[in-house]
Amino acid sequence: MKSRGLLIALVVIGVLAVFVLGIFLWGLGIYNSLVGLDEGVRSAWSQVESQYQRRADLIPNLVNTVKGFASQEKAVLLGVTEARAKVGQITVTKDVVEDPVAFSKFQAAQDQFSSAISRLLVVAENYPTLKSNENFLSLQTQLEGTENRIAVERKRYNDVVQGYNISIRKFPGSVIAGMTGFKEKQYFKAKEGAENVPEVKF
């Protein structure tokens, strides 16, 4: 009778051990999946940063080229230089994608920089000699290509973030994410006012 009770106890302990091990392995699998998604977000973010850095590196040459032809456009040239400096002052850490305030500041500075560059290119339209300058044309082409790459990388980043955010919000990922500190990542959003149709005046 004693051996039968011991056998039942061992079976129950064995079943519990298998159950606990199963739950542990299941949680470990979800955790590893979240780690992979988190690394995907970091990788996509570094691509976005890389393209923004490429754009920032092109600007001094572009400004100097325009300055040679249109030195009277000091306000525009200064605006571009200041916007570039503001972008450079923002310290971008790996945690910026989890901090809505920091992410918003980063995006606002980049949007302001984009606007300043657009104004610079509009000024260039007023100078036919500048528009035909080989150096300027090359820089303009590189800048346009970089802007396209920025748009592509931002979309890729948003897609990766969407997959990550869904995973940490859906059950059972939400339980593991909450226990292990995975936080929601921020999306790039359209510039404020982008939904309005531009007004064209003739």
Domains of the chain: residue spans and CATH = 39-180 (1.20.1440.20)
Q: What integer pLDDT is reported at residue 75 of this predicted model?
A: 84
Residue range 35-47: average pLDDT?
94
pLDDT at 194 exceeding the cut of 80? no
With tokens 């302990």, the residue in question is 13
Of 136, 194, 154, 155, which Cα lies nearest the Cα of 51?
A: 154
Task: For residue 168, give the 3-state DSSP assignment.
Answer: helix
Q: In the prediction, which pLDDT does 51 show?
A: 93
Q: What is the pLDDT of residue 197?
A: 44
What tokens appear for 198 in the block?
Answer: 């531009």
Mean pLDDT computed over every residue of the chain? 87
DSSP-H helix ranges across the chain: 2-69, 74-89, 100-125, 128-131, 134-169, 173-180
The contacts of residue 117 (CB under 8 Å, 6+ apart) are 55, 59, 62, 80, 83, 143
Q: Kindly indicate the confidence band of residue 22, based on its pLDDT and cuts at 50, 70 and 90.
A: very high
pLDDT at 11 over 90: no
Average pLDDT over residues 174-183: 93
Mean pLDDT of 90-110: 87
